[in-house]
Amino acid sequence: MRAYDIIMAKREGRELSAKTIKKFIADYTHGEVADYQMSAFAMAVFFRGMNSAELAALVDAMLYSGEVLDLSAIEGIKVDKHSTGGVGDKISLPLAPAVAACGVPVPMIAGRGLGHTGGTIDKLESIPGFNTSISSADFQRQVAAIGACIMGQTTSIAPADKKFYALRDVTATVDCIPLISASIMSKKLAEGIDALVLDVKFGDGAFMKTAAQARELAETMVGIGQRMGKEVVARLTNMNQPLGRMVGNALEVKESIETLKGAGPSDIRALTVELGAEMLVLGQQATDVDSGRSKIENALDDGSAFSVFEKMVEAQGGDVKSLSDLALLPHVESVYTVEASQAGHISGLHAESFGKAALSLGAGRVRSADLVDPAVGLEVLVEVGDPIEKGQPICRVYHRGEKGLEACLQQLNDAVNVSHSPVVKEELFGQRIA
């Protein structure tokens, strides 16, 4: 079938054979299918969906479009975690070393931020010298030696996904469950992991706006893992307000270091502990989630998690001194304080608006080729449910002069809701799917 025929078949809701899908993806990866044709195909899938057989073929085609790592020589059960993206979501930074400190190897291939959601790779690269572009061989050696490594997606690992994701981001087809599932699972299965914990976000700052949508996505990805013989656990988590206080790359590194030293915001610690406990159970270093929580908490409190993070930063060329002297991390001198316009109770902190506000400053990218400023960002000073007074500081904006400040403040105008009545904060954790 020609690309035209495949697009038309999917547009009309007809089922595509596994052979057709695999050939189509291979041709796209090698440049024989144009971007505009793949864009049309993505939109057709967005509206028509895919059945389980089509989705299985798409995952296989993207997974085997490049190298699939073999980590069998590394002792232990290799477990990774993936988040579907949020605002202020820096959980991978404290989580990977904490889990590794408890004896479970963590090989993690992470992504860059696009749009209002941040990326783990951008955060790590705000540490001076930190190298996320390492070879597969170095990746495997570091996991074996230290217990954890976080690197960016290489051109050899799931190249079909790398190319397709950039296209989806600019064609309004990111929030499509078959395409999200295939993208995430093809990357993660290519790592050579044995098990996976998924943090599936729902709410204002997430791609899945409702818990029902997040549950469907989680169930789809768990099913893919089961088909491929991998243990997968998904936790639904709330993204109706930013995670932690900081939004912006170097700022989030500072907050991650606080968490690795036994402090940090309560929600960052809680999510690190909960996801870490699930990873320890899958990695057979905890008999149940309760004992897993205890082990992760101890690793954060006794310094062992921070020690692994230091080794990881040093191994990947980062300046270890900057982890102790935070002034060595990128920073700006200009700080603008946003104050409450009325008294009352914080009833809403719209995560997406905070993400877009940080994006306006240069903390993220609108296009994949955009440069990111690692120093700029936001510090959110209140939480949902907090009482406030008129004129009370609610957010600090770290900016470079006037660059992006006006657009940032316009986004923040819509970011905070105030109620005259007391408000109950929403639960952080939703359903568990396994």
Positions marked active-site: 82, 161, 168, 183, 187
> Rg for the chain (alpha carbons), in Å?
21
Q: Which residues of 36-54 are buried (b: 16+ CB within 10 A; e: fewer)?
A: ebbbbbbbbbbeeebeeeb
Say which residues have a Cβ less than 8 Å from residue 299's Cβ, sequence separation at least 6.
98, 101, 102, 276, 305
Q: What's the rounded Cα separation, in Å, for the pair 15 and 313?
A: 47
With contact defined as beta carbons under 8 Å apart, do 217 and 181 qualify? yes
Assigned token pair, 62:
């993207």
Burial tier of 389 (Cβ tally within 10 Å: 0-12, 13-18, 19+)? exposed
Q: What's the rounded Cα separation, in Å, for the pair 434 and 432?
A: 7
- For residue 380, the Cα-to-chain-centroid distance in whole angstroms is 20
Q: Specify the DSSP class assigned to residue 114.
A: B
Could you give phi then psi for residue 107, rounded to 5 degrees? -90, 120
- CA-nearest of 256, 270, 246, 430 to 355 is 246
Identify each DSSP E strand in 130-213 by its residue range. 148-152, 195-202
Q: What's the rounded Cα separation, in Å, for the pair 71 and 215?
A: 30
With contact defined as beta carbons under 8 Å apart, do 190 and 66 qualify? yes
- CA-nearest of 15, 18, 17, 10 to 44 is 10
With contact defined as beta carbons under 8 Å apart, do 74 and 105 qualify? yes
